[in-house]
Amino acid sequence: MASSSTGSSFRSSASAAHGTGEEGVHSSPVAYRVRPLEYEPLVYCHCKRKAPRWISWSSDNPGRRYYTCMRRRDGGCTFWEWHDGVTRCEWLKELLIDMRDKIWALRRENLHLTDSIADTRAELDQMLFQGRQVEQALRLKLAEKDAELAALGERLRRFDKERVVLRITILTCICVCVGMLIRTL
């Protein structure tokens, strides 16, 4: 194990929901292959508790593992120790930083797209609701028009019957008049 010191690495991964990488854009860019407390040989902090092993994703120490007190932010001790030595390969360090930044950018984009999808779904739901209201109003108007059409159809049938009766009455009157005219002659 390397030297014990404090550094900026702690804030990068220990805050990331104990290494799950699911709690935010700047959490660990990769899932932990070994959970923070599943390692050997055991390392204990000054509180006599097993210290979780985290992965630093700071720009100074990307991918470097370290131990710290589990309760460091909640009143625990100040224990902090590197597990890995200093990365000597500058190219590898830059590659890890670039990959980390790309993953974080993709997470931000994913969050933006997820929010955009949620907004679009909300707009779509609103449009569907309004469409259903318009459809319901149109169905009511259609039912009213169907009722008016049925009433007009009934009225037309009644007028047709009255017309037939009127024709018969007129024809009867003509026949009576013709009959009276023939009788008077």
Alpha-carbon distances, residue 70 vs 18, 43, 52, 62 (angstroms): 9, 12, 6, 21
Instruction: Tell me if 58 sits within 8 A of 28, measured CB to CB.
Output: no
Going by C-beta distance under 8 Å and a sequence separation of 6 or more, which residues neighbour residue 58?
7, 8, 9, 11, 12
Instruction: Look at residue 21 in the predicted model and tell me its pLDDT.
Output: 40
Q: Please report where in the chains the tokens 């985290």 appear, as a residue.
A: 54
What pTM was estimated for this model as a whole? 0.53
Phi first, then psi, for residue 69 (nearest 5°) are -65, 135
Q: What integer best gives the mean pLDDT of the chain?
A: 84
Is pLDDT above 70 for 177? yes
**pLDDT band, very low/low/confident/very high, at 24 (cuts 50, 70, 90):** low
Instruction: Look at residue 57 in the predicted model and tell me its pLDDT.
Output: 87
Instruction: Look at residue 156 in the predicted model and tell me its pLDDT.
Output: 95
Q: Please tell me the distance from the alpha carbon of residue 109 to that of residue 21, in angstroms, as a whole number.
A: 16
Q: Please tell me the distance from the alpha carbon of residue 11 to that of residue 4, in angstroms, as a whole number.
A: 16
Count other Cβ atoms within 10 Å, centred on residue 33. 8
pLDDT one-digit tens code per residue, 28-68: 777 766 777 888 888 999 998 899 998 888 888 888 889 99
Instruction: Look at residue 33 in the predicted model and tell me its pLDDT.
Output: 64
Both tokens assigned to 70? 């589990």
Which candidate, 34, 37, 35, 33, places its Cα nearest to that of 51? Answer: 37
Going by C-beta distance under 8 Å and a sequence separation of 6 or more, which residues neighbour residue 25?
104, 107, 108, 111
Which candidate, 57, 47, 62, 75, places its Cα nearest to that of 11? Answer: 57
Q: Please tell me the distance from the alpha carbon of residue 154 to that of residue 148, in angstroms, as a whole number.
A: 10
